[in-house]
Amino acid sequence: MIGELINSIEKIEVPSADRKFGITRILKKYDGIPVYIKDVNGYEVIGNLCNRETIAKSLGISVKDLTRHMLSCMEREKEGKLVINNKLKKEYIEDDPREINNYPIPIYYPKDGGPYITSGVVIVKDKDYGVNASIHRILVKEDHLVIRMVEQRHLHCIYTKNIQDGEVDVAIVIGVHPAVLLAAATSGDITFNELRYASVLMGEPLELIKCDTVDLEVPPGEFIIEGKITKEMEEEGPFVDITGTYDKVRKQPVIKITSLKRKENPIFHALLPGGIEHKVLMGLPQEPRIFKGVRNVVPTVKDVVLTEGGCCWLHAVISIEKRTEGDGKNTILAALASHPSLKHVVVVDDDIDIHNPKDVEYAIATRVQADRDVVIIKGAKGSSLDPSIDEDKTTAKMGIDATISLRKNRDDFIRVEISKDRF
């Protein structure tokens, strides 16, 4: 599935790379552009795969339709169809669990705690909540794994609920369709079935394979790791987070590997920490949530983007069709409430291209009076990914209303355009 996509997109091809820092150098050089590395420890590697253009192409839509498509699909998540197709198992080779040390799993940066799986979709199941699919960084040790679990996320909730019974079944799938990655990066209600959502995103049933050593069904990725999350804890980290800065070391749960499978000629997906792919996969699923939250108070919202400069997490730009004075400020407040990690938000009119930083800056330069249009909120709960956050986890948040005041003559603000007609 991922191989078909790779063949259909424009990409940079590189003959070979070392998995220790070599993959990183190449992916950083071409950050945001898909890169296919033909040989890393005898394996093929794809990186920078999921930019906005590739995700849109994989879903058969345009980039400008991504937010509305995701929102529509999230609202129809229960309609997703999952089909077990165990015939796909014949495509896989069983490896000894220690063979994972020969896989092309990168060491990205000099201070990393070791090789890290960064694109693995982690799948667990709970008898009350159902299936959960999510993405977490996973440190590879000699014969086991250590997984970073953020306390507020659903995986941690399911783990703490079930670990008292001894161990928690888990599967990690590497090299999946972008729709599965996008779905796994989406935060819904704890009963939200990410795999069904992926099916709706794709517009077709999602095939699954029954695992051999754990009670789970998983999408047919390039690599499948089955295992048990245990009560045992080990140090995880240091590791680079979305801001490109190092996260701290913590005690995190150990995963015991029970089965290791790969396709005969698998393609490993290396997701660069702090790269554009990392930012897009984290931020893109938040845009429909912000859009929906803003739409509740400003129905004429047009589009939302979490910007790359703001790590696709801390900064948003929102375009609206302004109809009443105050729409801009209401949009700011709704956006901050919809995505609590948001730190700064700019609201613009719908003649501004929110994907063009120069256009957004133009709106700020020509349509903003700071004493009237800048909103500052002190002492709000901030994002743990922001290195400037205060010790008590609070931060100041800011909104800029860069829309044209309805008290002004709109014609004074509209940029001239040359007629397309010939003179």
Contact 249, 6 (CB under 8 A): no
- pLDDT beyond 60 at 9: yes
Select the more confidently predicted residue: 383 or 56: 56
State the Cα–Cα distance between residues 306 and 66, nearest whole angstrom. 13
pTM here? Answer: 0.90
Could you give the domains of the chain? 2-280 (2.30.110.10), 285-412 (3.40.1670.10)
Q: Pairing between strand 301-306 and 206-210?
A: unpaired
pLDDT at 417: 76
* Residues taking part in catalysis: 241
Neighbours of 232 (CB within 10 A): 13
Q: pLDDT of 157-215, one tens digit each?
A: 999 999 987 899 999 999 999 999 999 999 888 899 999 999 999 999 999 999 999 99
State the Cα–Cα distance between residues 144 and 189, nearest whole angstrom. 31
pLDDT at 420: 62
- pLDDT beyond 70 at 423: no
| Rounded mean pLDDT, 73-96 | 95
Q: DSSP string covering 51-116, please?
A: -HHHHHHHHTS-GGGHHHHHHHHHHTGGG--EEE-GGGGGGEEEE-GGGGGGS---B-STT-SS-E
| Rounded mean pLDDT, 63-73 | 93
pLDDT at 266: 96
Contact 62, 69 (CB under 8 A): no
| Rounded mean pLDDT, 393-419 | 86
- Dihedral angle, C-alpha 281, 283, 289, 295, nearest 10 °: -130
> Taking the alpha carbons of 14, 105, 281, 308 in that order, is the dihedral positive or negative?
negative
Q: Tell me the β-bridge partners of 172.
A: 122, 225
Helix axes 66-75, 286-295, angle to 10 degrees: 80
pLDDT at 1: 66
Q: Which amino acid is at 70?
A: M
Q: Tell me the β-bridge partners of 170.
A: 227
State the Cα–Cα distance between residues 126 and 170, nearest whole angstrom. 11
pLDDT at 419: 64
Looking at 132-136, 165-169, 342-346, 418-422, which range is the least confident one? 418-422
Contact 262, 93 (CB under 8 A): yes
**Half-sphere exposure of 91 toward its Cβ, with a 13 Å CA cutoff?**
15
| Rounded mean pLDDT, 18-31 | 96
> Taking the alpha carbons of 16, 1, 121, 306 in that order, is the dihedral positive or negative?
positive
Cα dist from 123 to 229, 268, 269, whole Å: 11, 18, 17
Categorize the per-residue pLDDT at 69 as very low, low, confident or very high, splitting at 50, 70 and 90: very high
**Nearest Cα to 252, choosing from 153, 129, 384?**
153
pLDDT at 144: 95
Select the more confidently predicted residue: 248 or 28: 28
- pLDDT beyond 90 at 247: no
Select the more confidently predicted residue: 388 or 215: 215
Contact 206, 90 (CB under 8 A): no
- pLDDT beyond 70 at 398: yes
Neighbours of 379 (CB within 10 A): 11
pLDDT at 421: 61
Q: Tell me how far the alpha carbon of residue 142 is from its chain's centroid.
A: 28
State the Cα–Cα distance between residues 334 and 297, nearest whole angstrom. 7
pLDDT at 117: 97
Contact 334, 298 (CB under 8 A): yes
Cα dist from 73 to 77, 80, 190, whole Å: 6, 9, 17
**Nearest Cα to 116, choosing from 256, 264, 6, 271?**
271
Contact 286, 339 (CB under 8 A): yes
- Dihedral angle, C-alpha 225, 255, 184, 216, nearest 10 °: 60
